[in-house]
Structure 1
Amino acid sequence: MDKLRGGSLVGGGSSSGAASTTPGQEHQQLEQYQYPKNLIEQYLRASSKIKKFERAGFFKRFAPSVVDVQADFQRLAYSFEESGIQQYAAMCHIGYAKCESYGGAPQRESEAYLRAARSFLAAHNESGRLHLRTRHSGFREGALHCYHRAADRAVDGCVFKAAILRELKQLQRQLDSTSSFASPTHQIHDLEISAETSGQRGDFRSALQHYDDIVDNVYERRGARMYGELLRRVEVLRLLLLVHLNLPPARQSPAHIKLIEYYYNLAQFESLPCSADDGGSAERPGAFVPEQQQYALAEITCAWVERKMCDLKHLLRDFGAEFGSLSDMERQLLAVMHAELARSY
């Protein structure tokens, strides 16, 4: 038996080399064998860290930091792309974008969402070539959402935003020509465009109705946290439109009354500012409006309710001057309201 063993070892030198693998090589071979599984486990760990940070500010006191999680998402995104698992690469880019949002870098956040959209689109095209059942909605829906998020976070009027909208328009053209698919993102985007068009031609009641429809649409889908920036913008516009239209209580909806009462009570120090991060419902007035803006809006509401029109005129001017992040529609409405008050007060 010893001779047989010796003969087999001598006669098969390559077998000897394979049999004498080190523990490190065996571990590396095992990692290669479990490669996709390990990547997905790493993605899930990174995602759980993001959730902890969102809920409790965990990384503000303990390691690892947001920068470390961001590096994990970036590394994993490239690894998934090399492995051809584009949908997970897209989700890693979304995680990276969330980390950028905590650092207050909207341009880099927009770039990350654009990478996510392209990865979802690549996954959609690949599933079509393989004739998978998910091709008709899932990945394309993800691409649409990420394109809109990228456009929302990009600076208005820049070349980068124009490029995003060009890619989005091309995808929408494909949707119109191949199916009757209508995504929630499409519906919300169309409502916002309709509201802006109504506001530009002076039909402020129709604009208010469109913004109300946006809020109802988002709340019905339980997607408030997904559309935080949109809800902030829409809430400011709805409140300003209510002040400008000066509707009597009988013509205000329950949602309008709730919105006005929230800001008036805030001005009277009868309540504290709400936030989507305080553990309460995200479907509340003020949930996505920064605290400083909430107090400014409360002063505007109080001046309107108490008919202090001179004060209201100055508060509207100050609101536009103080907050540089306001959208073009918000600034246009503030200018119209200020000009109308200036003629009488």
Structure 2
Amino acid sequence: MDKLRSGSAGTHQRTSSPGQGPLAEQHHVEQYPKNLIEQYLRASNKIKKFERAGFFKRFAPSVNDVQADFQRLAYSFEESGIMQYAAMCHVGYAKCESFGGAPQRESEAYVRAARAFLQAHNEFGLLHMRTQHSGFREGALHCYHKAAERVVDGCVFKAAILRELQQLQRQLDRTSSFASPTHQIHDLEMSADLSTQREDYRSALQHYDDIVDNIYERRGALMYTDLLRRVEVLRLLLLVHLNLPPARQSPAHIKLIEHYYSLAQFEASPCPGYNSELVERPGAFLPQQQQYALAEIICAWVERKMCYLKHLLRDFAAEFSSASTAERQLVKLIYADLSTVY
């Protein structure tokens, strides 16, 4: 009995020792946000010291260290659900990128900050439904504008920024920015995706044709290499699926089909790559292996070797695992149609 009493007493003493009891744990939980905020304030002071250092940068804190602090704190605040401080940490991260002369990464950081401010604004609205608070919304607007200023004009990322900004400023769609080529191309791609979902494949093909014409007319092919690659594959697959007679094909369609058919017959060579003189040639942005695979598909389709075409489509889906969702859906659709007959 004495041993039992001594054992229970020892256990009681251990559980109630300083730093391990429930009160200490509660105190730690209460101090958790405060500790993060103090760390944020210290990182912000380092940024101010760096800005004041002027030409004497060697006396200033390391920008990389401060940037790492902001990144770590941003993730911690996000995990804690304190989105307004997460946003401010992203802003601090963006300032560090500005010192390093990296406008693209600076812009991306401002976008993360804007999204965090917007999330804080939405959460505040849910908690305070009878009050008006626009500080977080204004912070999101400011960060979106900063992001748009820092990113390169005409790029796809700037279009994405302005689309998100439009959700906050509806009047923005009346400005010239939203009549930019980038937005027109994006709208065409969204319309093509929507047409595909509605199984209106002719409209989808027309939208993809318009994307190519829009890019080539503006001599902006090298800015949209990945999009042109995707669109070319989708156009070819749509032509196979629609099975349009030559009289219903446009000159661009005929040129595209003839190139890949000639490639399969060894009467043409694959495009060597990003040659500025050949960017408007079919296959300009596709790997040679993918060009040959598509050439075999077109050849089988033109020569009406449908059983062979079915096997080629299956091999294409298996070989090119990086194919987009739209490409895979079209391949699956064509394969299913062929399987009902052949």
TM-score by length of 1: 0.57
Residues of 2 paired with 1:280 and 1:271: CA distance?
17
CA shift, 1:191, in A, is: 1.1
Aligned with 1:214: secondary structure? helix
**Structure-2 residue corresponding to 1:209:** 206
**Structure-2 residue corresponding to 1:335:** 332
Residues of 2 paired with 1:175 and 1:270: CA distance?
54
Aligned with 2:224: secondary structure? helix
Structure 1 residues 125 and 89, CA gap change in structure 2 (3 angstroms):
farther
Structure 2 counterpart of 1:145, from 146, 156, 162: 156
Letter aligned with residue 156 of structure 2 = H
Residues of 2 paired with 1:240 and 1:324: CA distance?
16
Equivalent residues in 2 for 1:283-302, closer than 5 Å? 283-302=280-299
Letter aligned with residue 247 of structure 1 = L
Matched, 1:310 2:322: no
Matched, 1:259 2:256: yes
Residues of 2 paired with 1:261 and 1:113: CA distance?
43
Residues of 1 paired with 2:107 and 2:313: CA distance?
34
Letter aligned with residue 103 of structure 2 = A
Matched, 1:195 2:192: yes
Structure 1 residues 79 and 139, CA gap change in structure 2 (3 angstroms):
closer
Structure 1 counterpart of 2:323, from 322, 326, 333: 326
Greater CA radius of gyration, 1 or 2? 2
Matched, 1:270 2:264: no
* Conserved 8 A contact 1:117-1:144: no
Structure 1 residues 83 and 296, CA gap change in structure 2 (3 angstroms):
closer
More off after superposition, 263-272 vs 194-203: 194-203
Residues of 2 paired with 1:187 and 1:220: CA distance?
13
Equivalent residues in 2 for 1:217-228, closer than 5 Å? 217-228=214-225
Structure 1 residues 314 and 113, CA gap change in structure 2 (3 angstroms):
farther
Equivalent residues in 2 for 1:108-123, closer than 5 Å? 114-115=108-109
Unaligned segments of structure 1, at least 5 residues? 1-30, 34-77, 94-111, 130-134, 149-164
CA shift, 1:284, in A, is: 1.3
* Conserved 8 A contact 2:107-2:150: no
Residues of 2 paired with 1:236 and 1:113: CA distance?
32
* Conserved 8 A contact 2:189-2:211: yes
Equivalent residues in 2 for 1:73-152, closer than 5 Å? 81=95, 89-90=102-103, 93=105, 114-115=108-109, 142=153, 145-146=156-157
Structure 1 residues 312 and 141, CA gap change in structure 2 (3 angstroms):
same
Letter aligned with residue 292 of structure 2 = Y
Letter aligned with residue 204 of structure 1 = Y
Residues of 2 paired with 1:213 and 1:273: CA distance?
24
> What is the aligned-residue identity percentage?
57
Structure 2 counterpart of 1:280, from 277, 282, 288: 277
Structure 1 residues 202 and 175, CA gap change in structure 2 (3 angstroms):
same
Structure 1 counterpart of 2:228, from 223, 228, 231: 231
* Conserved 8 A contact 1:303-1:312: yes
**Structure-1 residue corresponding to 2:172:** 178
Q: How many pairs were matched up?
A: 229
Letter aligned with residue 219 of structure 1 = Y
TM-score by length of 2: 0.57
* Conserved 8 A contact 1:81-1:89: no
In the TM superposition, structure 1's runs of 4+ consecutive aligned residues that sit over 4 Å from their partners are: 78-86, 115-119, 137-141
